Amino acid sequence: MSHITLNPEYTALITLCESIPGPDETARLAAQNRLNRLTKPPGSLGQIEALLTRLAAGTGQVCPGLDRRAVLLVAADHGVAAEGVSAFPQSVTAQMVLNFLAGGAAINALAGAAGARMLLVDAGVIADLPDHADLKRLHIRRGSGNIAREPAMRREEALAALLAGAAIVEEEVNNHGLELLALAEMGIANTTPAAALTSAFTSAPPTRTVGRGTGIDDPTLERKQAVVAAALQRCREQGVDVRNADPLDVLCELGGLEIAVLAGATLAAATHRVPVLIDGYITTSAVLVAAALAPNLRTHLFAAHRSHEPGHALALAHLGLLSENGAGPLLQLDLRLGEGSGAALAMPLLVSATRVMRDMATFDQAGVDEA
Amino acid sequence: MSHITLNPEYTALITLCESIPGPDETARLAAQNRLNRLTKPPGSLGQIEALLTRLAAGTGQVCPGLDRRAVLLVAADHGVAAEGVSAFPQSVTAQMVLNFLAGGAAINALAGAAGARMLLVDAGVIADLPDHADLKRLHIRRGSGNIAREPAMRREEALAALLAGAAIVEEEVNNHGLELLALAEMGIANTTPAAALTSAFTSAPPTRTVGRGTGIDDPTLERKQAVVAAALQRCREQGVDVRNADPLDVLCELGGLEIAVLAGATLAAATHRVPVLIDGYITTSAVLVAAALAPNLRTHLFAAHRSHEPGHALALAHLGLLSENGAGPLLQLDLRLGEGSGAALAMPLLVSATRVMRDMATFDQAGVDEA
């Protein structure tokens, strides 16, 4: 983070990044040893075993509980919606926030099924939203800039959003405990900044990072690719070489307000060794920013699913989350909804996995012969 | 079933098979219509939506509850274990039944996490097992024949096992209600009959249907392939052409007692429109037998996962369960444990899916603009 000037906000961000612990190799080994003694053929639970050893390394616990779960759903609008890159009008962002508050969206149903609290944040929705006890409202700016033509946000705005995300997680840890955090988002047009960020961090061209989002047609897809190409070109003209720049510059140029908040929340969760369950393309792009700021972050990341968006796999691979080391996507269900839907669907799998570690007998305990 | 002589047991089996309802197309259409009106981009929940329309067609309900869940775990021994086809000694079958009763196995942990009742059945374990309130003991025979050299069982034994499986499901439906049934098994060496049955029903050679089971080495794998080839050759010499035979003959020649019980249980569940969640290779081979007896069965089948065993995908494809029509495997986690572990892991996914159908608001209800 050599590019960052040391004013107080930067200091807070740097402290956050530097507080993230690396893997606990003792816990990982203890978890592997226990898995090998449980009454099943060694390795026979496949990716579930890899998941459990990774969870142990991240949390520092052989049998983490994961009983206190939350879905952090952050909403914001995007100036780039003006380029006609989405199948839905921008009004839907605010309408869906009201739907979340009323309990009528997919994520309400799925978080309920997963036994997770919903933490709902307005990080910069353009329309007026009512005051509501269940809606945390940040007052940074309403809507990000149109990244095809201007930066998404200024550096002080990005910093404020990152630290606000971190503060929300800190509050949840302090007030309710938190053992598993799922990332979730809502923002019409936000697969466009996700694609731009993925191109920036992976060097893949827009033709590989731009997909159909919630369901755009061919002409809109071509327009969306051109918009992302224009955003990347604009960065180069501004002197921001996206491959070598300060990650904060990349976030400011190409990101979005919910993306910044989610990046900060991810960093804060990791400082507490809370596993972070990434959802789809947008939340993964937020984690690209966070991981560029803090290399230790990866230990604490888990990919819930591999979505329908073609760039999602590129972003997951860049994070080392498209592997068979227990971090790989648990689900591949062609989801393209967002809202944290895939993360909430995957949550019970993680909980079931921890029950294997907690509840099973060893060969010795059960008097079962080994192979 | 033209080969079946009409004695009373056959009549009972035929009645069971003929009582299975086909898909309820009205419910399927109503489910699809509701999914299209819910506040999400149409189709954006991918395979979850396909699963929900299939569930509606099978159950006849747009919003099935799936609240009353059970894992039917059937154990038996296999004479073919004498050929040295498993990494574990035969003693482990009974030891694992005791472990199931004590609550120390993977399936105990996973069924607990899934909120499912455990129905444990001794369908023919060789070792003496104690009387236990939670263990249903059938008295058909102890261990099946060594399929490399003799039939697995006689026709009256197969019929008794099939009808016993059906009776267990009937009892569960009557006494506790049943809305989702997971198939599960335990039996040292039982991937060998599963491979033989898969070869019989799909015409694939043993080189494609025989895998490493719980973890055998290369020489054991070659021996196991030779054993399955010998079993298939023995069938042909007995005049049982496995591709054209009565499915009961194939079951008798190549199957196992837990496989027969599970086949009967599957048929009975389907008569009540109870969705059947198939686990790994052995339970899928049981369903191959059941589906050959009753073509309507497929409507009610759901593949929980695609296992590490290479023949599993062949068997699922034969059943039309390797597709994207909502019946395909929900999970691909390289599981090779059996015991219903994959089915129990997948259960919460089905439950979460039904919550989407039950709890979400429509665009009209929520006042959200459509694309």
Is the model's pLDDT at B2 over the cut of 50? no
The closest CB to that of A360, out of B89, B109, B356, belongs to B109
The predicted structure's pLDDT at residue A366: 93
Torsion angle, alpha carbons of A6, A7, A8, A13, to 10: -50
pLDDT in the model for residue A70: 98
Q: Is the pLDDT of residue B362 over 70?
A: yes
Q: Given this model, what pLDDT does residue A214 score?
A: 80
Which residues 71-130 of chain B have a CB within 8 Å of chain A?
Answer: 87-89, 91-92, 95-96, 98-99, 102-106, 108-110, 112-114
Q: Which two structure tokens, joined as six digits, stand for B98? A: 């005791």
CB-based contact A356 B109, cutoff 8 Å: yes
Show Cβ contacts of residue B45 under 8 Å, excluding neighbours closer than 6 positions: A106, A333, A335, A337, A341, B35, B356
pLDDT confidence of residue A215 = 84
Q: Name the band, by pLDDT with cuts 50, 70 and 90, for residue A6.
A: low
The neighbouring-strand residues paired with B121 are B74, B136
In which residue are the tokens 């892991």 written? B345
Query: B125-146 burial, b for 16+ CB within 10 Å, e for fewer?
Result: bbbebeeeeebbebebbebbbb
DSSP A119: E
Q: Which residues of B touch A279 (CB under 8 A)?
A: none
- Contact assessment for residue A88 and residue A188, using Cβ atoms and an 8 Å cutoff: yes
Residue for token pair 């869906």: A96
pLDDT, average across residues A77-101: 96
Block residue for tokens 């080495």: B217
Which H helix or E strand runs over B51?
A: helix B46-59
Question: What are the structure tokens assigned to A46, written together?
Answer: 């496949």
pLDDT band at B6 (very low <50, low <70, confident <90, very high): low
List pLDDT tens digits, range A191-207. Answer: 999 999 999 999 999 99
Predicted ipTM beyond 0.85: yes
Q: What angle do helix axes B191-202 and B218-237 make, rounded to 10 degrees?
A: 50
Confidence of residue A51 (pLDDT cuts 50, 70, 90): very high
B368/B371 Cα distance (integer angstroms): 10
Q: What is the mean pLDDT of residues A228-251?
A: 89
| pLDDT exceeds 80 at position B66 | yes
Model confidence over A323-364: pLDDT tens digits? Answer: 767 788 999 999 999 999 999 999 999 999 999 999 999 999
Radius of gyration of chain B (CA): 20
- B84 pLDDT above the threshold of 60: yes
Cite the DSSP H helix spans in A145-205: 155-176, 191-202
Rounded average pLDDT over B339-354 = 98
Query: Phi-psi category of B202—alpha, beta or left, where left has phi over 0 and alpha has psi -120 to 50?
Result: alpha
Minimum distance, in Å, between the CA of residue A258 and any CA atom of chain B: 19
Q: Hey, of A352, A358, A364, which one would you mutate to test binding to chain B, going by the most B CBs within 10 A of its CB?
A: A352
Is A364 part of the contact surface with chain B (CB cutoff 8 Å)?
no
B194-235 tens-digit pLDDT:
999 999 999 999 999 999 988 899 999 999 999 999 999 999
Contacts of B341 in chain A (CB under 8 A): 45
At residue B323, what is the residue type? S
Residue A67: phi and psi, rounded to 5, are: -80, -25
pLDDT digit string, tens, across residues A249-304: 999 999 999 999 999 999 999 999 999 999 999 999 999 999 999 999 999 999 99
Q: Residue B326: its pLDDT value, please?
A: 77
Region of residue B320 (left: phi > 0; alpha: psi -120 to 50; beta: else): left
Distance from CA of A41 to the nearest CA of B (A): 6
Beta bridge partners of B118: B71
Helices then strands, counting H and E runs in chain A, come out as 15, 6
Confidence of residue B341 (pLDDT cuts 50, 70, 90): very high
Q: Chain-centre distance of CA A45, in angstroms? A: 26
Which percentage of chain B shows pLDDT scores above 90?
Answer: 90
Chain A, nearest residue to B212 by Cα: A44
Supply the DSSP string of A23-39, one letter for each residue.
Answer: --HHHHHHHHHHHHHBS
> Cα dihedral angle (B118, B123, B128, B130), rounded to 10 degrees?
30
**Whether A89 and B369 lie within 8 Å, measured CB to CB:** yes
Question: Looking up tokens 């073509």, which residue turns up?
Answer: B295
d(CA B256, CA B282): 10
pLDDT at A320: 95
DSSP bridge pairs for A182? A71, A277
Contact B247, B159 (CB under 8 A): no
How close B201 comes to chain A (CA, Å)?
Answer: 26
Q: Does any CB of chain B come closer than 8 Å to the CB of residue A22?
A: no
- Cα A235 → chain centroid: 24
Report how far residue B41's alpha carbon sits from residue A328's, in angstroms, rounded to the nearest whole number: 26
Q: How far apart are CA B264 and CA B273, in angstroms?
A: 14
* DSSP 8-class letter at B107: H
**Which of A103, A113, A355 lies closest to B112 in CB terms?**
A355
User: Which of B335, B351, B356 best probes binding to A when mutated, by most A CB atoms within 10 angstroms?
Assistant: B356
Nearest neighbour of B104 by CB, restricted to A96, A336, A365: A365
Picking from A357, A361, A283, A347, the residue whose alpha carbon sits closest to that of residue A70 is: A347
* Chain A residue whose CA is closest to B186: A40
- For residue B98, give every residue at least 6 positions away whose Cβ sits within 8 Å of its Cβ, in sequence order, or none: A366, A367, B129, B130
Half-sphere exposure of B254 (CA within 13 A, CB side): 37
Query: Does the structure show a pLDDT above 70 at B4?
Result: no
Check pLDDT > 60 for residue A20. yes
Nearest CA among A272, A364, A277, A327 for reference residue A61: A272
What number is the average pLDDT over the span B97-109? 98
- Pull the structure tokens for residue A88: 């839905």
φ and ψ of B173, to 5 deg:
-60, -45
Candidate from B114, B330, B336 with C-beta closest to A46: B336
Task: Write out pLDDT tens, residues B111-165.
Answer: 999 999 999 999 999 999 999 999 999 999 999 999 999 999 999 999 999 999 9
Section B1-5 average pLDDT: 48
pLDDT attached to residue B179: 98
Q: pLDDT at residue A7 above 80?
A: no
Taking an 8 Å cut-off on Cβ atoms, the answer to whether B113 and A355 are in contact is yes
A69: which chain B residues are within 8 Å (Cβ-Cβ)?
Answer: none
User: Which residue has tokens 């940040």?
Assistant: A138
Find the closest chain B residue to A50 by CA distance: B333
B240 — pLDDT class (breaks 50, 70, 90): confident
DSSP bridge partners of B72 = B119, B183
A88–chain B nearest CA distance, Å = 5
Which chain A residues touch B351 with a CB distance below 8 Å? 113
Q: Output the DSSP codes for B54-116.
A: HHHHHHS-SS----SEEEEEEEE-BGGGGG--SSS-THHHHHHHHHHHHT-SHHHHHHHHHTE
Contact of A316 with A284, CB cutoff 8 Å: yes
B36 in contact with A, Cβ within 8 Å:
no
Return the percentage of chain A with pLDDT > 90, whole number.
90
Quote the pLDDT of residue A2.
46
* pLDDT confidence tier of residue A8, bands split at 50, 70 and 90: confident
* Phi (first) and psi of residue A136, to 5 degrees: -85, 120
Q: How many CB atoms lie within 10 A of CB A77?
A: 29
Mean pLDDT of A156-172: 98
Burial class (CB in 10 A: 0-12, 13-18, 19+), A7: exposed
Chain A residues lying within 8 Å of B367, measured CB to CB: 95, 98
> In percent, how much of chain B has pLDDT > 70?
98
Backbone dihedral region of A45: left (phi > 0), alpha (psi from -120 to 50 degrees) or beta?
alpha
User: For residue A136, how many other CB atoms are within 10 A of its CB?
Assistant: 18
